[in-house]
Structure 1
Amino acid sequence: MKPAHQGSTRPLLTLVIPTRNEAGNVPELAERLSGALSGLDYRIVFIDDSSDETPEVIEELRRRDPRIRLIHRDEAEQRGGLSTAVIAGMELAESEYTCVMDADLQHPPEKVGEMLKVAQSSGADVVVASRYARGGGYAGLASPARRIISRGSRLLAKLVFSEARKTTDPLTGFFLVRTRAISGLQFRPTGFKVLLEILVCAPDLKVREIPFRFQPRRSGTSKATLRQGLEYLSHILSLFWYVPSAGRFWKFAMVGSSGVVVNMAVLISLVELAGADKTVAWMLAVGASIMSNFLLNNAFTWRDVRNASRIHFLMRGALSYPVAILALGANFAVYYPLKDAGHLFPTTMADYAYIPAALLGILAATAVNFTLNSQLVFRQSKPGTIPPDTPPAEIARKIQNELKADRVNVIGVPDMNVLARSGVPHRTDSDLDRSVIELVIKTRQPSLVVTGPRRLPQARTNARWANSLAVPIVSEEEVVGVIYATRTSSEPFTEEDLHWLTARTAAAGPVFEPRKIAPEVRRG
């Protein structure tokens, strides 16, 4: 990439605008943005993949307005198309808010100021400019085919991902986001619907929307192609597979379908091959399918829900059996009264009422089973609030016990002193990995470091790993300390451990402020 201008101050807003052969639209866009955002501290970052004179046009605009920055990507950097362009621009934003929009004037520049006001007044993390909200419109979708595809794509996203239902237009390319709210997200730029990825990967974001009318293109040609449609389907599949919480109900349904296969395979094998009693074989088959479903749900559907210990894992497995029995009861409760209710159906179907009754029973059982698994078997334990008078050493001890860490240290900033500790102490402060701690302080991002054992002359299955977790403690927008946990074990820390500690630490800022640490604790 070749940056043409480097901003030196932290603005309120950065506009990320991908361009590809938009020389006829860029000057008017810049002029209208200047008028709409008059008096505001903003920057414009053009991420350009053009093969025409667009870079020269933007460069001329930049000479007249230093708030404009040009990133012209070479052919190798253009792989991934629009999505990688948007992500590249968002990674450069250092402002409080980032707005993504198109350069073709189909997104009215005058709406940006309104989106910013909504974000500031409501405290929203994301403000979506929606074509489908009341008062919006999509006249810019020139053909009936494009309108059908747009509506179908939107329906698919909202059907698969519950997070997409936060807005009427999860596939819009016109949105504003609080920059810090998406800091640290690992994007998978498979498709071009970046907003959908933000909503799915950060499901707790507060979302608001405003209507806008999608305008007809003024100049140039549309970039919509069949290839982009296929990329969208690939993006849906990628998010579904790689984001643990995405499409959780459908993952549960897939696992349930596999349980039917396991059930029938065990039942037929026991009856036909082992000569078992059919009732006994049925009971064993049901038991096997319940266990199969639990293991797959643990590994796939709820893989982001950590097991505190092996005992915890076994308890969840045991709990899955009464939950399955309750779901079976829900199935029967719906099926039994409807199986002979022929009067509810047309005369020609009266004798077959048991079939829709069975289907409704299955739906009821699935709903009950999924709800109970979510709320009981795989309930996500959320760290509670930390009372402000809790001694830091006590919090360190609780964190050590939960993570089964060898030691947990609370490091003060900026002097890097140990404010509180729990567990086996380090031999000296030099044993702390200061480079990791300094990186966490600088980036404000948590870190997981795993160091494997040295090379051995033969393979080992019980090799010990030295690993650490480092999470910043933030209070009033400042890093006031770092929680640093270490463990040397054949079971290294995982991403789930890091997520848990990050959530646990989120409420600890006021507790660990240096001015609140007693002098004797500071001395360790």
Structure 2
Amino acid sequence: MKKKVSIVIPAFNEATNIPKVTEAVAHVFSALDYDFEIIFIDDGSTDASANVLRQLAAANRQVSYILLSRNFGKDSALSAGLSKAHGDAVITMDADLQHPPTLIPAFLEHWENGNEVVYAYRESKNEHASRMNKVSSGLFYSIINNLSDLELEDGISDFRLLDKKVVDILNTMSEDEPFFRGLIKWIGFAQKGLPYVPEERHSGRSKYNTRQLTKLAIRGITSFSTKPLYIATYLGLSFSLLSLLYIPYIGYSYYFGHTISGWSSIIATIAFFGGLQLMILGIIGLYLGKLFMQSKQRPHYIVKESNLS
């Protein structure tokens, strides 16, 4: 009996790319001895993606779709797809064809050799990314690796293969705002990374910008580490100790008649320490906010329509 592979593809405003990625995946599997299914998750698209998926699923029994009630974010869309994927292995990839389907046979080969997780990471020679994107991406992974308990390769992507046992574990996790790049590293198992060069995006534009990468970095850091809280503690302690150095100057001024003057220096000092306190309170607030949202136990996504039972 052939093994089955589920392809999970989140999509947001990818109406023109959906038929192309379906065709590319089907072409790859035509030369492989596996059964396969493609599950698209429409993450609240505002273009014609939903209609394209309905038509595609009606014409191709190997295509299924899930329409979410609004845009919940990529990781939540992946959660929806993983919950409905029943293959012996699950491959997650983007809909814009920057994740080359031609890498799928290599994924499957390493999976058959005993790796429960096979993931792709972007090579530094990516010709299709702008200089700004390369810099922000490098900064993103540098911050994640230094301030969290994770070690992610620069350019690690959501293009990966997961064994069924790994998918089953991920489906039991109910944490708020899941960060799959980190979660999959955290759960362990035998993992293999493969370098790849992203293809040029077929159409449309990337949904990630510097602001979204910053939010993703903060989510990754606060989900897997308490290092920022320790840093805030060390900063407070350091500045408290440094303030003690001011005491000799105060004593000298008092006994030798030197008045302490200078409004600008006083205001600058107050502003500096006020900003530091606000930053530390903000760090604490991030963690409290995550606890607050987790306590509500709201679903990660809401399904509006699907052709899956």
TM range (shorter): 0.5 to 0.7
Q: CA deviation at 1:82?
A: 1.3
Secondary structure of 1:138's partner?
Answer: coil
Equivalent of 1:174, from 159, 167, 175? 159
2:234 aligns with 257
Q: Would you say the 8 A contact 1:175–1:195 is kept in 2?
A: no
Q: For residues 259 and 18 of structure 1, do their structure 2 counterparts lie closer, same or farther at Cα, with a shift above 3 Å needed? A: closer
Q: Would you say the 8 A contact 2:182–2:220 is kept in 1?
A: no
- Does residue 197 (structure 1) correspond to residue 183 (structure 2)? The answer is yes
* Structure 1 segment 403-422 matched on structure 2, within 5 A: none
Q: For residues 187 and 114 of structure 1, do their structure 2 counterparts lie closer, same or farther at Cα, with a shift above 3 Å needed? A: farther
Amino acid at match of 2:165: R
Runs of 4+ more than 6 Å apart: none
- Does residue 225 (structure 1) correspond to residue 213 (structure 2)? The answer is no
Amino acid at match of 2:127: A
Taking the aligned partners of 1:258 and 1:131, their CA distance within structure 2 comes to 35
Unaligned runs of 5+ residues in structure 2 are 242-309
Q: Would you say the 8 A contact 1:18–1:103 is kept in 2?
A: yes
- Does residue 40 (structure 1) correspond to residue 27 (structure 2)? The answer is no
Q: Would you say the 8 A contact 1:25–1:104 is kept in 2?
A: yes
The normalised TM-score by structure 1 is: 0.41
Equivalent of 1:126, from 117, 130, 133? 117
2:50 aligns with 55
Taking the aligned partners of 1:157 and 1:228, their CA distance within structure 2 comes to 14
Taking the aligned partners of 2:57 and 2:99, their CA distance within structure 1 comes to 21
- Does residue 89 (structure 1) correspond to residue 81 (structure 2)? The answer is yes
Q: CA deviation at 1:57?
A: 1.7
The normalised TM-score by structure 2 is: 0.67
Q: Would you say the 8 A contact 1:124–1:206 is kept in 2?
A: yes
Amino acid at match of 1:19: A
2:4 aligns with 12
2:127 aligns with 139
Unaligned runs of 5+ residues in structure 1 are 1-8, 241-245, 265-524
Deviations 1:128-180 (A, max 9, x none): 11113xxx742232x21111001111122222345424x4544x121111131
Q: For residues 212 and 187 of structure 1, do their structure 2 counterparts lie closer, same or farther at Cα, with a shift above 3 Å needed? A: farther
Q: Would you say the 8 A contact 2:148–2:221 is kept in 1?
A: no
Deviations 1:37-78 (A, max 9, x none): 123111111001222222222222222221110111122xx3
Over the matched positions of the two proteins, sequence identity in percent amounts to: 24
Q: For residues 124 and 179 of structure 1, do their structure 2 counterparts lie closer, same or farther at Cα, with a shift above 3 Å needed? A: same
Q: Would you say the 8 A contact 1:118–1:124 is kept in 2?
A: yes
1:69 aligns with 64
Taking the aligned partners of 1:183 and 1:65, their CA distance within structure 2 comes to 27
Q: CA deviation at 1:113?
A: 2.1
Amino acid at match of 2:61: P
Greater C-alpha radius of gyration: 1
Q: Would you say the 8 A contact 1:125–1:207 is kept in 2?
A: yes
Q: Would you say the 8 A contact 2:137–2:155 is kept in 1?
A: no
Q: Would you say the 8 A contact 1:182–1:198 is kept in 2?
A: no
Amino acid at match of 1:148: V
Equivalent of 2:223, from 217, 221, 239? 239
Q: Would you say the 8 A contact 1:11–1:94 is kept in 2?
A: no
- Does residue 154 (structure 1) correspond to residue 141 (structure 2)? The answer is yes
Q: CA deviation at 1:256?
A: 8.0
